[in-house]
Amino acid sequence: QLQLQESGPGLVKPSETLSLTCTVSGGSISITNYYWGWIRQPPGKGLKWIGSIYYSGDTYYNPSIKSRVTISVDTSKNQFSLKLSSVTAADTAVYYCARHIGLNIVVLPAALGWFDPWGQGTLVTVSS
Amino acid sequence: DIQMTQSPSTLSASVGDRVTITCRASQSISSRLAWYQQKPGKAPNLLIYKASSLESGVPSRFSGSGSGTEFTLTISSLQPDDFATYYCQQYNTYPMYTFGQGTKLEIK
């Protein structure tokens, strides 16, 4: 059974870079037709897609946050990572990683679908 | 950007009730819609994809319908385990994936 687990610091200072890693177990991250995504949820609020990456390194980002986000993949460790720079209190959220279903990945941009399964999430607080 | 609007934001119901949650898209998204259930402190869990396809392992009391701009999630007979927050998500516009604001289903 595929499982995802987020890890990283729970507290980040304003203006610094948030770094999280998602470890995939029970299956390979290098499988065709699946991307790997990050989604966040501020306390008491809704869900926001941050970006998704293919095992080849192809990435897509939410335009609203694209200038501060970098998602990378390490197939040797079956992991993918999120870096968010210049954080503020508004970046305080539970961050989830999830498998992002590929519907048609031969087109550009790739057509992706729903998220399943999800990691349990990790709360990152931005505070001095 | 496509906006997804769910209604109601909060819904009070009793065990055994039939409930319907609506999700409206600001423009047509064909049938490219998924539904998730989220319980407090937990990650969202996929219920429905392609607007009406039931994810494996999800009870048959859950069903989805709709296409274009209006979609519904129906629970035919509420069970105690169903009280949670429900989100819709569109995947029609690539690469931009957006969620509704959520509908909290409470016990009456």
Give residue-wise pLDDT tens across range B81-102.
999 999 999 999 888 999 999 9
Residue A116 CA: distances (Å) to CA of A58, A72, A93, B47, B56: 19, 19, 20, 10, 11
What are the C-alpha distances in Å from A88 to residues A45, A50, A52, A66, B38? 17, 16, 22, 15, 26
For position B94, what pLDDT does the model report? Answer: 82
Please provide the average confidence, as pLDDT, over all residues in chain B.
97
A95 has a pLDDT exceeding 90: yes
Q: B29-75, pLDDT tens digit by residue?
A: 999 999 999 999 999 999 999 999 999 999 999 999 999 999 999 99
Q: Residue A64 above 90 pLDDT?
A: yes
Percent of chain B exceeding pLDDT 70 equals 100
pLDDT digits (tens, 9 = 90+) for A14-55: 999 999 999 999 999 999 999 999 999 999 999 999 999 999
Q: Whole-number mean pLDDT of chain A? A: 96
**Strand intervals (E) in chain B:** 4-7, 10-13, 19-25, 33-38, 45-49, 53-54, 62-67, 70-75, 85-90, 98-99, 103-107
**Percent share of chain B, pLDDT over 90:** 94
Is the model's pLDDT at A68 over the cut of 90?
A: yes
Helix (H) or strand (E) holding A51: strand A48-53
- Residue A109 with chain B: CB contacts under 8 Å: 94-95
A and B: number of Cβ contacts within 8 A:
62
In chain B, residues with a C-beta closer than 8 Å to the C-beta of A111 are 91, 94
Which pLDDT value is given to residue A101?
Answer: 96
Is the CB of residue A114 less than 8 Å away from at least one CB of chain B? yes
Question: Is the confidence at residue A121, as pLDDT, over 90?
Answer: yes
Q: Peptide bond preceding B40: is omega within 30 degrees of 0, i.e. cis?
A: no
Closest CA–CA distance from residue B75 to any residue of chain A (Å): 20
| Chain A, nearest residue to B97 by Cα | A49
Q: How confident is the model at residue B1 (pLDDT cuts 50, 70, 90)?
A: confident
pLDDT classification of A105: cutoffs 50, 70, 90 = confident
For residue B105, what pLDDT is reported? 98
